Amino acid sequence: MTGRAASRGPKSGRPPRAKPTLAQQGLSFDLPGEIVCGVDEAGRGPLAGPVTAAAVILDPARPIEGLDDSKVLSAKKREALYDAIVERALAWCVASASVEEIDTLNILHATMLAMRRAVEGLGVTPTLARIDGNRCPVLAVRSEAVIGGDALVPSISAASILAKVTRDRLLVELHRAFPVYGFDAHAGYGTPQHLAALREHGPCAHHRRSFAPVREAFVLHGLPPASPAARHPTDGAGPADVADASARA
């Protein structure tokens, strides 16, 4: 996408105003000629539930104020921004990798799989994908990793919000089916409450058996965890689907 921030010269005797930051503008104008999608994930660390990723192409004609790293926003602010993003973005897609895929591939490669699915699901094909972090999935389009991008690049901020809100909503649904674990309170992370519930009740089908606290809970309850090697990913994802930022031209 192309765009230009309009500006006026200062009136005589007045100092110039500070230029708005990219986050304040709600979009980036620093890559003329590019259709840029921001990509981020939510849910790498939890003991339960899928890992979720989102890809967002912002519309320069419809800026969104207040975009930031989803982790520093209140739940109420995230929900409001979620609605604004899905209504105003040029294109967006949320995708995930399942617990079974996490246990089969490991969490890094499952995250790359979710990101790839999100980018491939966009209704508009980007020319560049900007990925939060220091690794990128292998994509059909150019990609670049941006460390701390969820706080620096508006489209990545938007993706972080969509991914987190979507996953948090899913964990609330899981809580209704499995209330003993308190998924609505911790979104599957290994809080003292969650670890205590694992010890008392054992894992459910939505726990990640490749994560140590879950394996330990299986042993505690005399239940042998299913072997990840017995499972198969749905679309052949694996180590070839992740690339270090330093390895790309």
CB 147 within 8 A of CB 244: no
CB 207 within 8 A of CB 48: yes
Q: How many domains does the chain have?
A: 1
Write down the pLDDT at residue 55: 98
Write down the pLDDT at residue 213: 96
State how far the alpha carbon of 116 is from the alpha carbons of 37, 98, 119, 131, 243, in Å: 12, 14, 5, 11, 12
Write down the pLDDT at residue 226: 60
User: Do the domain assignments include residue 133?
Assistant: yes
Q: Which residues does 5 contact at the CB level (< 8 Å), separation at least 6?
A: 19, 20, 25, 29
User: Do the domain assignments include residue 200?
Assistant: no
CB-based burial of residue 14 (10 Å sphere; 0-12 exposed, 13-18 middle, 19+ buried)? exposed
Write down the pLDDT at residue 17: 39
Per-residue pLDDT tens over the stretch 189-219:
999 999 999 999 999 999 999 999 999 999 9
Average pLDDT over residues 56-62: 95
Per-residue pLDDT tens over the stretch 117-176:
999 999 999 999 999 999 999 999 999 999 999 999 999 999 999 999 999 999 999 999
User: Do the domain assignments include residue 10?
Assistant: no
Q: Which domain range does residue 107 map to?
A: 22-178
Write down the pLDDT at residue 186: 96
Residue 54 C-beta-side C-alpha neighbours within 13 Å: 27
Query: Measured in Å, how far apart are the chain's first and last C-alpha atoms?
Result: 22
φ, ψ of residue 139 in degrees (nearest 5): -125, 165
Read off the CATH number of the domain in which 63 is found.
3.30.420.10
Helix, strand, coil share (%) of the chain residues, nearest 5: 40, 15, 40
The percentage of residues in the chain with a pLDDT greater than 90, rounded to a whole number, is 74
User: Do the domain assignments include residue 209?
Assistant: no
User: Do the domain assignments include residue 129?
Assistant: yes
Name the E strands within the chain.
Answer: 36-42, 51-57, 91-97, 128-132, 135-137, 142-146, 242-244
Between CA 188 and CA 107 the distance in angstroms is: 14
User: Do the domain assignments include residue 214?
Assistant: no
Which of 12-21, 67-76, 88-97 shows the lowest mean pLDDT across its residues?
12-21
Write down the pLDDT at residue 224: 75
User: Do the domain assignments include residue 199?
Assistant: no
Enter the pTM of the model. 0.80
User: Do the domain assignments include residue 90?
Assistant: yes
The secondary structure of 65-105 as a DSSP string is TT---GGGS-HHHHHHHHHHHHHH-SEEEEEEE-HHHHHHH
